[in-house]
Structures are given as structure tokens and as C-alpha cells.
Amino acid sequence: MGKIILPLLILATSNTWAAPPAKDVNVVNTPTVTVTNPQTSVTVDNAAINPVPVTIQGGVSVAPDPQFVGFSSDSVQGNVGLAGMHGACALTYGAGARMCIDVEVFKTPNLQPVPSVPSGWIQPSNQILPSDTKSHINQTCGYWASNSNDNTGLVLSGERMNILVSEVTYSSNSAIYNAPECDQARPVACCM
């Protein structure tokens, strides 16, 4: 006697027979990536922002480093406080914009000069200021609380995109070095 073959009917739900998640996912130009599946890895390739792709394993969130976006449209003196500096950036570039820390500017790929802005206030870090410069408080207009010409702050040159402890002006073909005094209204270097 021969074998009897019966058709096998399998009912599947999407939870039971869903395709497994891809092991590798490529995400392009996304500000924040969250992966909850520990078996999934994600490569974030923001080529225009981050020249080196970042690969993360599931269960980790990653956001791109802040980047220089430009100078605030409002100019402020050195006494508006750190919140006032951040506020000038938020007014120009929207929520999330804030005053740059000096190292963030140099980590910005494809950094371009902004020749229309001679210089703007920037927050110093211990990574940029050499040890022989003035103290940190003297590079932040007394922690952004002073608009005295006796205090100075750190500025970012728009024309050359470098940090200036003193600015150079020329008179009769002679270079004159002036510290960026806190009573001078300037735009703010902004990052997002």
C-alpha cells in the first residue's frame, strides 16, 4: 500500500513569521538614530557632515557632533551671559542652536570663511587655549557677565575661521594688536 500525503496547512501571524530584522541598516543624513534590537547594527553615514561613518550596535543612541552653522544676526556685548549668547543663536537659527565651543568649529567638515563677519564671540575650551594665554575667565568677558573694555573675550574670525585672542588692525602699514574687548557688540558663533 502506498503512502498517503496530506497537505500541511500552517497559519502564521506576523509576530511568528515576520521576516527577521536586517543585520545591517544604512541610515543617511538622520540627526538621531536609536537602535533597540541588540542584533542589529546601524551605520550612520552623514557624508556632508561627518566624513567618517559611525557604526553602532543595537541598544545605543547616537547623535552627530554639533557643527558650526554661522554667526548670529544679532550682535551682543560680552555681558549678556551664556544664556544670552545661546539666545542670539536660537533667534537666528532656531531651537537647538547655541553658542559654539571653540573645538566644535574645528571639527566642522568643509568649514568655509564668512568674510562678511569680521569676528564673533565664541566659548573657549581648555583644549584650544594655550597655557601661556590669559586665564579662562579673561577669555569669556568675566564668564559673559562684563561689558567693560577692561575685560576681553575669545572671538572667531569670520574671514579666516580661526580663534583670536587678539585682533589685528592695520594703520599706516603697521599692525596693531587689540584684545577683543567686552564692550564691543559682536555676533555669536553658532553651532547645532
Summarize pLDDT for 145-189 with one digit per residue, the tens: 999 988 889 999 999 998 887 766 666 777 667 778 999 999 999
Give the mean model confidence (pLDDT) for residues 101-126: 91
* pTM, entire model: 0.65
Number of other CB atoms surrounding residue 73 within 10 Å: 13
- d(C-alpha 61, C-alpha 65), whole Å: 13
Residue 180 · residue 119 · CB < 8 Å: yes
pLDDT score at 18: 39
Q: Is 123 exposed, middle or buried (0-12, 13-18, 19+ CB in 10 A)?
A: buried
- What percentage of the chain reaches a pLDDT higher than 70? 57
Q: How many CA atoms lie within 13 A of 156 on its CB side?
A: 34
d(CA 7, CA 182): 85
Greater model confidence, 119 or 61: 119
* Mean pLDDT of the region 75-92: 97
More confident residue, 163 or 33: 163
